[in-house]
Structure 1
Amino acid sequence: MKTTFTSSLLSVSALAVFASGALSSAVTAQDSDIAILEEITVTATKRAQSIQDVPFSINAQTSNDIRRTGSQSLEDLSRNVAGLMIQNLGPGQSQVAIRGVSAGQIVRDQPGVKEQVGVYLDESVISLSLFTPDLDLYDLNRVETLRGPQGTLFGSGSVGGTIRYITNQPNLDEAEGSFEANLNQVDGGSMGYHLKGMYNLPLTDTVALRMVAYHQEYGGFIDAYTPSGDMKTNVNDGTRSGLRVAMKFEPSENVTLTPRLVYQEIDMDGFNRQEVYNLYGNEFTTDRGVVNFGEREQYLLLDEGFKDQTMIADLTAEISFGGVDLTSVTSYTDRDILVSRDASALTGSVSVDLGYPDEAVNLPSNLRDTTKVESFTQELRLSSNGNGPLQWVVGGFYSNTDRFYKQFLPTPGYDAFTDSVLGAGTAEATRAGVAPPDSPFYSELPYTLEQISLFAELTYDVSDVLHLTAGGRYYDYKEERSVTQVGLFGNGVVDQVDETSSNGFSPRVMVSYDMNEDVTLNAQVSKGFRLGGVNDPLNTALCSDDDLEVFGGFQDYNDESLWNYEAGIKMQKGAVSLNAAAFYTDIKNLQVTLDAGTCSSRISFNVPKAHTMGLEAELKARPTEGLDFALNASLIEAEFDSTIVDSLGNTLVEDGWRLPSVPKLSIGATATYSWPIEMVRDAEAFFSGTVQHRDSIFTQPSDQQDNPRTFTHGLPFGGAPADASTTLDLELDSYTTMNLSTGLMTDNWELVFYVNNVFDENANLSFNRERGGRARLAFFTNQPRTYGVTYRVNF
């Protein structure tokens, strides 16, 4: 590791010398009037400073960047952020990873797994493992991506990094507003649109109100076969609506109070899942009609859906006195999430195994996951605001989260078949007096999570060019969970209580050296942390003997920690900037997710050692008047350094395997050219293009074994033989997408025509298997080519 890190440091230093000369040459050739890039101010260290002065790797996508690229989600923004990876599982369900620190795909029924990337709305933490809110980007000042563990200032959920949505604050000086309308058509799918608006109103000299509202209709693009033989089109369309209201009260120049209310609803009718095998429709179902799935097709007995109602209420209070700023951030979050899924293939596959008649196998079965979250957080910190050589911030943080997760499987008529085949009274006995009738599975998992932490960070200017930063965070976590899991498919557990707790210290040390006024070198060593937990009981009634033997022992999983070693360079001169970094992370007890074979369960377990290392770079340039160019790239090696073998001798993880969901190479580029239009007063025309390439990935670690893999379904149903099988390549291919846009813009309005996914790339984003592949095999996919027009106006 030391040799690797030293080599990376030397590489970055060499790059600094080379790029410094290149920057000087580039700027000399330019007109000084145009050789200026936008200066970006960020608050990644809990104080405002230029992004070039932050002593670690950070990206900030400004409101201009968001508008120019037409970004509507964090996934869109990631195309221009080196090292940021998004797994698209549908609005409100995507997963985030930074610098290859990834545990693999987390699915809906793993409520105890903690996030690896912390997500904040301004000062309020909003991340929640899989279900981090997919907030709208309208009227944002910027989105900051802080790479590497940010445990010192942002806590345990930031083991891989932190993402911060920074909103525009109420303006006391003037009334202003904006409006945006969009209409789009998904190629081969349905039409979508959105309407968004903002209005800022000063009420008095000391009070201002800023209001944002939006409504978005998502066009669907997934079609579904049905038992009647009909094809339902565009089953994954949906809506997102929201409101954000903030008030600024500034009774004096030293006191500012900003209460805010955020409300958002997401209502999706289905999922971006394209299937290759389904129990009810496949290439072997000769008795029911052979189904050969095409692109963006699936099979449904029941409509599916996802609903998310999120309310965030927070209050930020800032008081300045005697060279010190006191900041208080109080936040309350209330969320209701429903994932409604067609689980007929899952239930039907079990029914085949149990010898139920075809009438039972064909019963529609609806798996309903509900999550209710109430969270309260309070942060209180003091920070210096003077100009002396010593700058500091110190504070405390408290959070209390109650999360109630419930899952049940309403399957009307199922109890009668159960009693008929397995004996009278069997269904009622397995309900244990808890589950409702005709629900072969029922579970309740209430969680209480409590956290207390203290943190501090100090920066000292040793000289005009050398700056040292040291900080740390002490944390104390407690988690209590109760488990009830009953029904024919359940474990028979009622009110079983499990507890997890941990405490420790996460330090960070950084050094920054100004080579000259244009070039800064920085390096850091920092530690990240993620709380462990307890796996849910296996659905033992569904497990084969081998799978029960293998996975039955995976109960607890320990805390995950990592050490991050990083060296970087930041350069900016006139119209060119280049930020680059080399990093190495040494991961201990990485929490890895695995599908528990036939059990229809997912488990988490620890891999003792793993690492990621790589290079990332971001270049911005304005080589000539009217032309803006941005390039980002990351090259990452993310591998396990331990081998895990199960009780039957099967390899679950092998030393040298790649970490899941991590591409080796990701690269993106955006170019925009604008020129004046004489026919329209003060108007410019522009043309913009964005290209993104992502290398191949694996969804789960074990997908690298026996690949391509043959899944033997073992379900003689619908004419399919018991030995019917499907062979798939589980290495998800690399892909490249391109977005193009053109239009007119003035200081007050903008008209944009665009085409996204120009070449209609059908990318496999992650692999989805149901009951080890016996019930269903599928991939989540991206949105097809989309045409659209957007109109924006400021007033």
Structure 2
Amino acid sequence: MKINKLSYAIITALGVSSIATAQTADTAQPKRVIETIEVTATKRAESIQDVPVTVSALSGDALENLGVDNFQDYVEFLPNVVFQGTGPGQNEIYIRGAATSQTNIAVSTVQALQPSVAFYLDEQPVSMQGRNLDIYAADISRVEVLPGPQGTLFGASSQSGTVRMITKKPDFAGFAGGLDFGTSFTKGGEMSNSVEAFLNFVPFDNTAVRITAYNDRQGGWIDNVLNDPDQGGYRGSSVVISRISGGALADPANTPVVVPQNDALVEDDFNDAIYSGVRFGIAHEFSSDWDVLVQHTAQQLETEGVFAYDPNLQGTSSVNRFQPEENTDTFGLTTWTLNGRLNELELVYTGGLLNRDIDSLVDYTGYTNGGLFSAYYVCSYNNADQADDKCLDPTKFYKEETDTSRITHEFRVNTDAARDWRITAGIFYDSQELNTVGRFKIPNTEKFTDLARETVGKEGINSNGGPFESEVGFVNDVSHGIDQIALFGQAEYDITEDLTVTLGARWYEIKDDYKGSTTTVDVSRRLRAFGSLDPDELIAVGEDPAAVNAAIASGQLDVSLLDDDGVLTVDDTIFKASIDWKATSDLLFFATISEGFRPPVTNRVGGGKSTSQTGAFEGFRIPVYSTTDTLQNYEVGMKGDFFDGVFRMNATAFYSEITDLQTSRFDPTNISFLVFTDNVGDAEIMGIDGDMTWLATDNLILDASFSLLDTELTRINSELDGIAPPVGAELPYSASFSGNIRARYFMELENGLTSYINGSLVYTGDRIASMTMDAFVLEETTELVYGTGSGLSIQQEAPVFAGVNYTDANGDAFKGGRYIQDSYVLANVAYGITNDEWKAELFIDNLFDDNAVLHIDNQQFTPKVVTNRPRTIGVRFSYDFF
């Protein structure tokens, strides 16, 4: 069959490549080969098959064929990449099983745990504390994934890998434009609509402009149902508090309980999401050797409701919420890149300015079920002087206003790529600032006001010293600044024409300045006290200087990285070495040793003694900061084209060692009602990942990719023994096997038309949730609150859970275990017709209407299940003009 140019353009090998043609000498007939994507994984433009590092890539055509637009969708087709979180704009990325856990994504900006995977838009790092940017994939050239440490070239947070979204740039070829729109219907949910457009033009011979705009309204499918006291709801919450957290109520059986009401908030399909944005790009060529590109991207993501269901309610789309839930996430990113050449040297100066604003309103009512403090202020304190005990309405909210800015500069030099030795070297500067104010409604505001005045010594706790707003009982008002400077370099030398060695290194210095206050803690003064160890300052923040110095002398507390102003400073050098062998023109082998890291994280209440000082928490003090966690990686891989270029296979086997793995901790019963970070211990990861492309026939192309993982905790911080999973346990969110297969079959029709069928299957294996063995505790809470368990799978990992106050209704210690996020399979299909100008497509996502457990969210102290969209049927249409 004759295959025209358009057919080859649209038949993208989903994930790595597309079909191309070559003339054979004897027949002069087109021969099918796999066209290779050009990537910039080494900060040079190279063929994905020639670069001696593991790289996965989804081209722009592949993203379009898969119907992929947002963060969650494209991660599904990268099996060595997982995301965990509570919905659009509230997710974290993990690669190759190097996963930890955010205790609560809603307050992750205060917690300041750095990501383990760096996220880039073009040349600019846009990773952020707590929440990665959820950038809509509009007018995208490709998404590159670099598994394994990339710290020498990409710096902090490239600990377990780097994800890069590469946009389409202004094109000097001339005028072009395109329009894409779609509409779809979700089973049991609302209608969704999207529109995307781009325009490229050349106003002057040496200047090109490209404009992209998009709006995608994603209808909801989760229902906020009536809280019926006769059907459970939160009617037993105060009893739960008494039994779980150690007797907050004197007589829980006889204490009247106020049932929270949500009548005014009952709504079907209340979890809407709207992505809207625009990108402007202008490129100018000064000469054949010098050019500049300036781009500005602006996006707003608005969500309402929640994207998780309550497994205790009927079906897989119902939840009880008692406050409106809203999240507005807006960012503006301006970037610039100047490219030039001086003789054989390629010079690149690139930088970016990112500003991001997050405004959230979160229902926090479930916090009533999970802590000694909330129980006290809801019930006991309120009625301490009353004969007739009565608990307050437990309805609560959390309001967050977070402003983040990040400015980066990088200057690097590349030597001539044609030489047998090549060097990439540069300097990098990064300055981040996060300012966040979080307001919590916790009943009995007066008590918190008194506590704030006593502890902080001022009227209220707002940044200007003002009073509390109505209903607000607790406030975080903190700033977090991170400044980094780094020198990096990578040298390659061709020992022979086919054998190359590479050495790389990066020196960095990071300063972390964490300041501000909470209702009960003056963070700035506390860190200065622990930095200077001034006895008067330690006494002023409520610490015994002798006890603090004893904890430091014993090694329990580390304050060596703090200066007298409370600023944390860390510096180090990391390395990379690799060797690659080009066995044939189509077969490459490589071996690599590399390092990655995450910087330390400062804690608000660092150095303080835990609330409980018995059992597992005897003598426990909260770390002043978690120390740097590092990942040492060893891998061997191969990349090859076989059978005359119709079959491609790339695979990598790796072994990684993580030292001092950072994680979040939140234990309001035994330690503190403020989240903090800690180093859980060490871990090992072994695995294999790979991808394949097969041009099966003239009309059929198949793609597949997979990930095999074996993760294990090898050492546990002694202070977490019996709380964290034991030695030998799996890391969270890491499936032993994940994979996908995609197929595309096409046929030529009359009048220059081509039809095609796309299909994909995605499998994700069982994954363990969380880094804390608290599932049985949460399950008992669920039983008491709702009168029934969650029905979720639990893996028992210890005879008992070591929390001293964690006993069930019979007074027995809870077993230690974690929830299991069960395996799932998702299938998508699409049928389309296209020609040189337009394409029309009918698609079905989640063909079999499977309900996937994407994440188990415990921030409400009873488990909620973040899930995927039910079966969705829709149409897409695109039109390009030149």
Could you say whether these structures have the same fold, taking a TM-score greater than 0.5 normalized by the shorter chain as the test? yes
Secondary structure of the structure 1 residue equivalent to 2:64 = helix
Contact 1:89 1:95 in 2 (8 A): no
Question: Out of 414, 425, 430, which is 1:394 matched to?
Answer: 425
Q: Determine the structure 2 residue equivalent to 1:473.
A: 506
Could you tell me how far apart the structure 2 residues matched to 1:443 and 1:551 are?
A: 24
Structure 2, unaligned runs of 5 or more? 1-23, 227-260, 384-388, 462-467, 528-565, 790-807
For 2:397 and 2:607, locate their aligned partners in 1 and report how far apart those are by CA, in whole Å.
17
Alpha-carbon spacing, 1:503–1:425, altered in 2? closer, same or farther (3 Å): closer
Pair 1:165 & 2:165 matched? yes
How far apart, CA to CA, are the structure 2 residues paired with 1:343 and 1:330? 39
Q: Is the 8 A contact 1:708 1:729 kept in 2?
A: no
The 1:530–1:770 alpha-carbon spacing in structure 2 relative to 1, beyond 3 Å, is: closer
How far is the alpha carbon of 1:258 from its aligned partner? 0.7
Q: Distance in 1 between matches of 2:513 and 2:452?
A: 31
CA distance, structure 2, for counterparts of residue 610 and residue 264 of structure 1: 38
Mapped pair 1:752 → 2:841: yes
Check if 1:560 corresponds to 2:626.
Answer: no
Query: Judging changes above 3 Å, is the alpha-carbon distance between structure 1 residues 191 and 356 closer, same or farther for their aligned structure 2 residues?
Result: farther
- 1:774-789 alignment, distance < 5 Å: 776-789=862-875
Deviation per CA, 1:616-640: give whole Å up to 9, x if none. 1100111101211110011001111
Tell me the distance in 2 between the aligned counterparts of 1:212 and 1:385: 34
SS in 1 for 2:61: helix
Equivalent of 2:726 in 654, 678, 693? 654
Question: Residue by residue, what CA displacement relative to the aligned partner does 1:512-555 show, whole Å, maximum 9, x if unpaired?
Answer: 10111111101100111110112233999996776976875343
Matched to 2:572, the amino acid is G
Partner of 1:18: none
For the structure 1 residues 499 and 626, does the alpha-carbon distance in structure 2 shift closer, same or farther, using more than 3 Å as the test? same
Match of 2:590 in 1: 522
1:366-515 aligned at under 5 Å gives the runs 366-410=397-441, 414-415=444-445, 418=447, 432-435=458-461, 436-437=468-469, 438-486=471-519, 490-491=520-521, 495-497=525-527, 498-515=566-583
Q: 1:619 aligns with which of 692, 706, 709?
A: 692
Q: How many residues align?
A: 737
From 639, 645, 649, the equivalent of 2:712 is 639
8 Å Cα contact 1:593-1:604 kept in structure 2 = yes
Which whole-Å deviations, capped at 9, do the CAs of 1:457-516 have from their partners, x for residues lacking one? 111111111111111111111101014111xxx457675444322111111111110111
Please tell me whether residue 225 in structure 1 is matched to residue 225 in structure 2. yes
| 1:342 is the counterpart of 2:342 | no
The normalised TM-score by structure 2 is 0.79
Q: In 1, are the aligned partners of 2:146 and 2:162 still within 8 Å (CA)?
A: yes
Shift of residue 712, structure 1, vs aligned partner: 3.6
Q: Residues 747 and 171 (structure 1 numbering): CA distance in 2 closer, same or farther, change over 3 Å?
A: same
Structure 1, 728-737 or 380-389: larger mean CA deviation: 728-737
CA gap of 1:702–1:158, structure 2 versus 1, over 3 A, is same
- Counterparts in 2 of 1:577-616, with a 5 A limit? 577-598=648-669, 599-616=672-689
What amino acid is the match of 1:403? L
Q: Does the 8 A contact of 2:84 with 2:92 survive in 1?
A: yes
Contact 1:557 1:606 in 2 (8 A): yes
8 A Cα contact 2:477 2:517, kept in partner: yes
1:370-406 per-residue CA deviation (whole Å, 9 max, x = no partner) reads 2211111100011113411111111000011111122
CA change 1:426–1:250 in 2 (3 A) is closer
2:71: which partner in 1?
Answer: 74
Cα pair distance change 1:409/1:607, threshold 3 Å: closer
Deviates more, 1:131-140 or 1:83-92: 83-92
Contact map agreement 1:709 1:730 (CA 8 A) in 2 = no
Structure 1 CA distance for aligned equivalents of residues 756 and 824 of structure 2: 27
Contact between 1:116 and 1:160, CA under 8 Å: does it hold in 2? yes
**Match of residue 197 from structure 2:** 197
Tell me the equivalent position of 2:46: 49
Letter in structure 2 aligned against 1:331:
G
More strand by share: 1
Task: Indicate how the Cα distance of structure 1 residues 394 and 303 shifts in structure 2: closer, same or farther if over 3 A, else same.
Answer: same
The alpha-carbon deviation at position 102 of structure 1 amounts to 1.0
SS in 1 for 2:328: strand
Matches within 5 A, 1:206-355: 206-226=206-226, 227=261, 229=263, 231-276=266-311, 292-346=313-367, 350=375, 351-354=377-380
RMSD across aligned positions (CA): 3.1
The one-character-per-residue Cα deviations of 1:43-99 (angstroms, maximum 9, x if unpaired) are: 111111100011011011111111111111233222332411122521112211111
CA change 1:729–1:524 in 2 (3 A) is closer
Conserved in 2, the CA contact under 8 Å of 1:333 and 1:376? Answer: yes
Q: How high is the sequence identity, in percent, across the aligned residues?
A: 25
Q: Is the 8 A contact 2:308 2:867 kept in 1?
A: yes
Q: CA deviation at 1:608?
A: 3.4
C-alpha distance in 2 between matches for 1:302 and 1:444: 22
1:103 aligns with 2:129: no
Q: Using the alignment, how far apart are the partners of 2:35 and 2:780 within structure 1?
A: 54
Q: Deviations over 1:282-303 (max 9, x none)?
A: xxxxxxxxxx443122111111
**Structure 1: gaps of 5 or more residues:** 1-26, 278-291
Shift of 1:352: 4.2
* Alpha-carbon displacement from aligned partner over 1:636-686 (angstroms, at most 9, x marks no partner): 011110133448x634231101011111110111111011122xx211111
Indicate the SS of the match to 2:108: coil
Aligned to 1:289: none
2: distance between equivalents of 1:86 and 1:570?
A: 27
Instruction: Say if 1:730 and 1:203 are closer, same or farther in 2 by CA, change over 3 A.
Output: same
- Give the SS at the match of 1:512: strand
Partner of 1:741: 830
> Is the 1:551–1:596 contact (alpha carbons within 8 Å) kept by the matching residues of 2?
no
Change (3 A) 1:86 1:751: same
Contact 1:645 1:652 in 2 (8 A): no
Q: Deviations along 1:231-265, whole A, 9 cap, x unmatched?
A: 31112102111110010010211110111111000
SS of residue matched to 1:711? helix
Correspondence 1:124-139 to 2 at 5 A: 124-139=124-139
Contact 1:190 1:220 in 2 (8 A): yes
- What is residue 6 of structure 1 aligned with on the other side? none
